[in-house]
Structure 1
Amino acid sequence: MSVDEAVAAVEALLAQERLNDLQESIVRQAWEQRSYPEMAAQLGYAPSYVKYVAFQLWRQLSEALGERVTKSNFQAALRRWQARSGQTAWGRRDRAQWAAADVPAFYGRETELAALDRWILTERCRAVALLGLGGTGKTALAAKWLETASAAFDRVAWRSLAGQPSVEMLLADLCAQLGDRRRLPSEGAQQLARLLALLQQQRCLLVLDGAEAILAARSAAAPGCPAGHYASGCERYADLLQQLAESSHQSCLLLASREKPKEIAALEGEALPVRSLLLGGLAPTPAQAVVQDKGRLRGTQTEWTTLVQRCGGNPLALKLAATTVRDVFEGDLSAFLAEGTLIFGDIKALLDQHFERLSRLEQELAYWLAINRAPVALTELQGEILSNLRFARLLEGMESLERRCWIRHVAAEAAPTGEPGCLTLQPLLRDYVTDRLIEQAVHEIACGEAALLHRYALIVPDAPAAIRQQQLNALLAPVSEQLLQALGTPLNVKSQLERVLGQLDARSPLGVGYAAENALNVLHQLNFDLSVREVCELAPPQVCPT
């Protein structure tokens, strides 16, 4: 049994026409005896998330096969099943069957479907990138659009990039799906020339799904890797995408990705044959329909609106939240929302692996965007950051976050300051980054450390009163409450803050930081009546603001 046959067997056993990208990658890499950390490093996911998805897959296979299946024995389990059932070797799946990306229920996205019609069918663009966070429905949108648009093409080739196939393997697969099954030439340029010839001879659509898998994630070796650059071993994809976007042909590439490759960013434009379509959240009505598919939930219209807003309209986040409401809160939406948190379980695991792909600069900017609570101008943001960040570096970081679909632009009239060019995080990501900042700040203080306390403001000193109130509710109050829970009494919190401030180094590269002011705000929140001078006496000279 080959690995392709194993993937097909798993799909048959689970009664799925197609595994999702990550499931397929896990099957393929487990077949090659790779460990979960090795899978995570190659795929750009958090190890805990890969292990969780794999556990769910082995559990389903265990139920289907009637025996316990794990990563270490699933090859043997599939072979036993094949012998028992009398199955012959599975032929390689025909990936041209794009309908394998089954869409049993699809709601909304009329504007996006119309844009694909206009760009690909009417204006005949050569490349279109479908971009969005995980769970926004990029694959589903592509499959839904093809239900009606496929008749406009002579051939359709659909390929997942989740397993990081080599460009040579991909080209062989695409050529075969487009009708040319001859052996590829050995030279790379000739391999690509064969595909381009097929795209010139007939009207084809190439769908490359899960393209973020071939893009580099942050690692110990590359902590500053910006978005859009390629993972080790995938560098040839840069030439492939550029040739598909620039060469003259009558076909189209439809690329679905969580991040925008730099070739797409360089070549796209409103009047150019390369476009990008960013998928945001669903509108309230289709979002509510997605949730109701999980079962009838009870709530007022205001509560439904709150759920959709807190999930950012993300279909996957809505489905996961709906499952919790149904199974844990017996369908009571009000009780679920009263808990005050959405970032847990599967949603947190998904967002963890998004965050861990960010460079250190991107993570710092994400924290500051979450702290500001509202859209903020770049010049204002630069003034808040302590690391003397040059404006060019700030722009670079924001451009990278934008390519990863983390931020959105806000018109001047909608910004609190009325300035043009204001930016903010996507709603679901803002809540996630806020929770992460609170958790890490509490952990550091409890352990006697002060990195986050010194580097980030829980309440920005010069922020408007309305923003300061939001920061108090979203950041200062939760940090204070959790410190009280962790340390037991307000006096214990005060003593720990004294120890933390006493350890600060006045010669820190950050210079005058936010630690003393953060400590003062926490102590005020816990009803200690202290002045800035009294708090500063606990810290070394030069650390407190003057």
Structure 2
Amino acid sequence: MTVNEVVKFVDQIVFDKTGKHLDDIQTAVIAGTWERQTYDDIAQKHNVTKNHIGDVGSELWQLLSKALGEDIKKNNFRSTFERLHITSSPIIIQNKNKQNNNHTFNFSSQATFQYNKGEQDNNTQKYKTKTIYHDLTLAPQIIKFHNRETELQTLTQWILNQNTRLTSILGTSGIGKTTLVKRFIDLNLDKFEIIIWKSLKYPKSLNLLIDDLLQVCKQEPEKNLDDKIKQLFNILTNNRCLIILDDIQNIFTPGEIAGKYQPEYQDYQTLFKLVTETQHQSNIILISQEQCPEMESLDIELYPIKSLEISGLYHPDILQNTGLKNQDIWLDLIKLYTGNLMFLKTITVLINKNYDGEVVEFLAENTLHITQQMQSYFQETFNRLSPIEQQIVLQLSKFETPIYREELRETLIETLNLSSVNFNNGLQSLQQRYLVVKIKEDKVMFSLSSVFREYMRNLN
């Protein structure tokens, strides 16, 4: 069993017994204990007392002992679960929140759950069985969730209340898109019969992706793609499914305007359109660094689609337990790196190593330092841009403050002989990649993020 499977399994038991999912500290205790950390290690990592961690752990072990009929303690938690993992007989959990309800948990690599709901009929107990498939092997484990409650509520409203069939979660790398979606899943595992998380970091054809989805649902794929798509939509129609496709930007063509599909992945466009146009009870979430063209071309008044753009986090709490000093100026550091968690993580390592954690000394140099990790990310990002976009960002990087659209346009047309059509297409594409920010004042202005601008200046 992986740590994600263990956390998910315990979360389901706790929810069945209490009606509440694991909170962040409870999750940390389960994950930390599985990874053989001490209570003191867990407490220090999450900025709470060792006694508090001990109290939380004691309550969890009592609850699990009662639910599983095992004497579970911190020192035997992992060994007990590893033994249960290879047990051939299922474990029955009695649910006190739902009358006549038993939950059967079968451990597997795809975390398969079976729910048996009893119905009384002429004093004879009858059972309806529905198989639940949760494949979150590629989903991240979330220990901390920072200040995204508004976005979480929005996502919950769209999917659970409005049944938005296709939802895009958008923003630059490291901004927290994946964490937000995983947190939504952790809180709503019981709302879906099928949950499947797939990464397109190394994309595969739609044909092979649907094969994977069908196999998770224990169905043998048909031979041709059309029939496989029909199989998939039968599942989406007859079950409440949640399918997450992460790193969607990798199916688009590098060196072209944002959102242009690579020829071998053009079939994805057909799938996304069918998801919005076909009646079913399921939800697809796309996580991407650039917008899918369907999400902009389709009318949101007519189609069940939504896009949620994620921006930086500006709260000192995100630097807790990083080893940094001078907490009163943490917010200055966060603003300097645009609230991007990936940038802050790598700059935190640098400050700890080179400045002994003294944020005040780092900021006193008045330098926006671009770490090696940031350089690698921005180089990859720049290489994905079309030549027109590269010209625009190179020009924008020369300006310390936002520039009016007309001024930028005239500069590019005069110096680079760029047509008005190419200029507008390139500027729109950069906004779809979340690399250029539009600012509305008396006239429309545009700017690069401070970190990307510094990288571009060094590139020059």
| Category of TM-score, reference length = shorter chain | 0.5 to 0.7
- How do 1:425-436 residues align onto structure 2 when only pairs under 5 Å count? 425-436=448-459
**2:167–2:284 CA contact under 8 A, matched in 1:** yes
**1:310–1:342 CA contact under 8 A, matched in 2:** no
**1:299–1:333 CA contact under 8 A, matched in 2:** yes
Amino acid at match of 1:239: T
- How do 1:275-286 residues align onto structure 2 when only pairs under 5 Å count? 275-283=306-314, 285=315
2:199 maps to what in 1? Answer: 160
Task: Say whether residues 1:193 and 2:233 are aligned partners.
Answer: no
Task: Say whether residues 1:343 and 2:366 are aligned partners.
Answer: no
Q: Aligned partners of 2:171 and 2:448: how far apart in 1?
A: 13
Q: 1:141 to 1:239 in 2, by over 3 A?
A: same
Amino acid at match of 1:433: M
Task: Say whether residues 1:320 and 2:346 are aligned partners.
Answer: yes
Tell me the CA shift for residue 370 of structure 1: 2.2
Runs of 4+ in 1 over 6 A off after TM superposition: 15-18
- Aligned pair count reads 335
1:245 maps to what in 2? Answer: 276
Tell me the CA shift for residue 361 of structure 1: 0.6
Amino acid at match of 2:249: E
Provide, for residues 151-186 of structure 1, a one-character-per-residue CA deviation record: whole Å limited to 9, x for no partner.
222211111111212211111211233x3422x222
**1:215–1:228 CA contact under 8 A, matched in 2:** yes
Provide, for residues 97-143 of structure 1, a one-character-per-residue CA deviation record: whole Å limited to 9, x for no partner.
33742011121111211110121111111111111111112111110
Q: Aligned partners of 1:431 and 1:17: how far apart in 2?
A: 42
Q: 1:291 to 1:242 in 2, by over 3 A?
A: same
Provide, for residues 334-356 of structure 1, a one-character-per-residue CA deviation record: whole Å limited to 9, x for no partner.
22223413212112211221111
Runs of at least 5 residues in structure 2 that lack an aligned partner in the other structure: 7-85, 87-107, 112-132
Tell me the CA shift for residue 310 of structure 1: 1.6
Calculate the TM-score normalised by the size of structure 1: 0.58
Q: Aligned partners of 2:162 and 2:5: how far apart in 1?
A: 33
1:378 maps to what in 2? Answer: 405
Q: Aligned partners of 1:376 and 1:234: how far apart in 2?
A: 37
2:149 maps to what in 1? Answer: 110
Task: Say whether residues 1:355 and 2:382 are aligned partners.
Answer: yes
Runs of at least 5 residues in structure 1 that lack an aligned partner in the other structure: 1-7, 19-87, 219-224, 413-417, 441-546
Higher share in strand: 2
**2:346–2:371 CA contact under 8 A, matched in 1:** no
Does the residue aligned with 2:142 lie in a helix, a strand or coil? coil
Provide, for residues 453-485 of structure 1, a one-character-per-residue CA deviation record: whole Å limited to 9, x for no partner.
xxxxxxxxxxxxxxxxxxxxxxxxxxxxxxxxx
Tell me the CA shift for residue 264 of structure 1: 2.3
Q: 1:427 to 1:115 in 2, by over 3 A?
A: farther
2:65 maps to what in 1? Answer: none
**1:130–1:254 CA contact under 8 A, matched in 2:** yes
Q: 1:258 to 1:268 in 2, by over 3 A?
A: farther
Q: 1:233 to 1:107 in 2, by over 3 A?
A: same
Task: Say whether residues 1:258 and 2:298 are aligned partners.
Answer: no
Tell me the CA shift for residue 241 of structure 1: 1.7
RMSD: 2.5
Provide, for residues 29-73 of structure 1, a one-character-per-residue CA deviation record: whole Å limited to 9, x for no partner.
xxxxxxxxxxxxxxxxxxxxxxxxxxxxxxxxxxxxxxxxxxxxx
Aligned partner (choices 132, 136, 160) of residue 98 of structure 1? 136
**2:277–2:303 CA contact under 8 A, matched in 1:** no
**1:127–1:274 CA contact under 8 A, matched in 2:** yes
**2:276–2:303 CA contact under 8 A, matched in 1:** no
Higher share in helix: 1
**1:290–1:318 CA contact under 8 A, matched in 2:** no
Tell me the CA shift for residue 93 of structure 1: 5.6
Q: Aligned partners of 2:364 and 2:302: how far apart in 1?
A: 48
Task: Say whether residues 1:401 and 2:430 are aligned partners.
Answer: yes
Q: Aligned partners of 1:173 and 1:268: how far apart in 2?
A: 31
Tell me the CA shift for residue 362 of structure 1: 0.5
Q: Aligned partners of 1:316 and 1:431: how far apart in 2?
A: 16
Amino acid at match of 1:200: T
Calculate the TM-score normalised by the size of structure 2: 0.68
Aligned partner (choices 127, 137, 158) of residue 166 of structure 2? 127
Tell me the CA shift for residue 210 of structure 1: 1.4
Does the residue aligned with 1:189 lie in a helix, a strand or coil? helix
2:318 maps to what in 1? Answer: 290
1:204 maps to what in 2? Answer: 241
Tell me the CA shift for residue 232 of structure 1: 4.5
Amino acid at match of 1:209: D
2:357 maps to what in 1? Answer: 331
Identity, % of aligned positions: 27
Q: 1:98 to 1:324 in 2, by over 3 A?
A: same
Q: Aligned partners of 1:242 and 1:369: how far apart in 2?
A: 35
- How do 1:484-523 residues align onto structure 2 when only pairs under 5 Å count? none
2:68 maps to what in 1? Answer: none
**1:101–1:143 CA contact under 8 A, matched in 2:** yes
Amino acid at match of 2:321: D
Task: Say whether residues 1:273 and 2:304 are aligned partners.
Answer: yes
Q: Aligned partners of 2:303 and 2:275: how far apart in 1?
A: 14
Tell me the CA shift for residue 430 of structure 1: 2.4
Task: Say whether residues 1:388 and 2:428 are aligned partners.
Answer: no
Tell me the CA shift for residue 231 of structure 1: 2.8
Tell me the CA shift for residue 404 of structure 1: 1.1
Q: Aligned partners of 2:330 and 2:299: how far apart in 1?
A: 37
Amino acid at match of 2:356: E
Task: Say whether residues 1:423 and 2:455 are aligned partners.
Answer: no
Q: Larger deviation: 159-168 or 124-133?
A: 159-168
Does the residue aligned with 1:158 lie in a helix, a strand or coil? strand
Does the residue aligned with 2:395 lie in a helix, a strand or coil? helix
Q: Aligned partners of 2:374 and 2:181: how far apart in 1?
A: 23
